[in-house]
Amino acid sequence: MLQIAHLSFSSPLVLAPLAGYSDLPFRLLCRRYGAGYCVSEMISCHGLVYGQKKTLQMLRSDSLERPVSFQLFGADPEMMADAAEIMSEFHPDMIDINMGCPVKKVTKNGGGAALMTAPKTAEKILKKVCNRLTLPVTVKIRTGKNSRQINGVDFAKMAEDCGVAAITVHGRTWSQAFAGGINKEIISKIKNNVNIPVLGNGDVLSYRQGINLMEITGCDGVMIGRGALGNPWVFTENGRPNNREEILNTALEHLNLMEKFLPVEKILGYVKNQISKYFKELANSSKMRQKIFAAGDLYELKETMHSFLVIKSII
């Protein structure tokens, strides 16, 4: 069983923060299908401090997804602490600090994985945030800047000294982004050099792969990101079902959650993108996805989805 600070989780496999995907409906679905907990999309410290409406909407939660972690990103220590205080008013169970995102729009301002190259700034952020909050603070990092500058172990020890309750290690460097295999040895070294829970992340596309990563590295839990898209069963031992009807019903379940919690008509393209992920391995999937993206409104989208349950093939 995974435990972080005072929190105990039903599974050591958790949903990673996925920009553009880890919204409330998807988190609810993943929790329903076995994720120990879920982490929100990255939330900007500037957006919180300046009270931007779209940013604040990302903090919407529901009791059914508890426990939940909200993830915060930025590079200014004082602003990060102020934003963490604002975030805590929305009552997450944990707050995660992103120090691992390799995307340029985040790193160009010194945030995300860029903080791996600025450990003094990272230390100031973690100390200030931990000192301001009473709830557990965690951090997500990478192994280092590149293959010649691996500092994950020292960075993790620094984070522990600052008071973080757990560390998630994406087993790639900043320069790798999402290419190439993960470095399991570094994850293992980090686990062996700190006294707080360590979660591994990267290249996990099934329940079995997650358990294997824990067995190989000794890490306490595993974050699953891209492997969960269109596949909330990734958190279960049996995995994605072979039953076409079950897959379609889960896609409809996801659509219903989006209809309940999101302004779906305003973001129909986003909704279609989420739903289309379920069909990637089904027979005639390309035709099914074409029909999904051709839907003109939510009603037509739902009608299309229901039609998939009635007919056995898409012509």
84 and 226 share one domain: yes
Q: What is the pLDDT of residue 311?
A: 56
Domain CATH code at residue 75: 3.20.20.70
CA distance 167 to 188: 12
Please list, in sequence order, all residues whose beta carbon lies within 8 angstroms of the beta carbon of residue 150, skipping any fewer than 6 positions away.
Answer: 143, 144, 173, 183, 186
Q: What is the pLDDT of residue 29?
A: 98
Q: What is the pLDDT of residue 246?
A: 94
Res. 315: pLDDT tops 80: no
pLDDT single digits (tens) 110-160: 999 999 999 999 999 999 999 999 999 999 999 999 999 999 999 999 999
194 and 270 share one domain: no
271 and 124 share one domain: no
Q: What is the pLDDT of residue 310?
A: 73
142 and 291 share one domain: no
Q: What is the pLDDT of residue 158?
A: 98
Tally of domains within the chain? 2
Domain that includes residue 281, residue range: 244-310
171 and 228 share one domain: yes
147 and 283 share one domain: no
Q: What is the DSSP letter of 180?
A: S
| Mean predicted lDDT score pLDDT of the chain | 95
The answer to whether residue 140 is domain-embedded is yes
Res. 161: pLDDT tops 70: yes
292 and 181 share one domain: no
The residue among 213, 235, 257 that closes a domain is: 235
The answer to whether residue 165 is domain-embedded is yes
The residue among 195, 211, 235 that closes a domain is: 235
Lowest mean pLDDT across 81-90, 213-222, 264-273, 278-287: 278-287
Positions annotated as catalytic residues are 101
CA distance 81 to 254: 34
222 and 242 in contact (C-beta within 8 Å)? no
| Rounded-to-10 torsion of CA 7, 8, 11, 17 | 0
pLDDT single digits (tens) 10-51: 999 999 999 999 999 999 999 999 999 999 999 999 999 999
Ranges of beta strands (E only) in the chain are 2-4, 7-9, 13-15, 38-44, 68-73, 94-98, 137-142, 144-146, 149-150, 166-170, 198-201, 221-224
Its pTM surpasses 0.75: yes
Lowest mean pLDDT across 174-178, 245-249, 282-286: 282-286
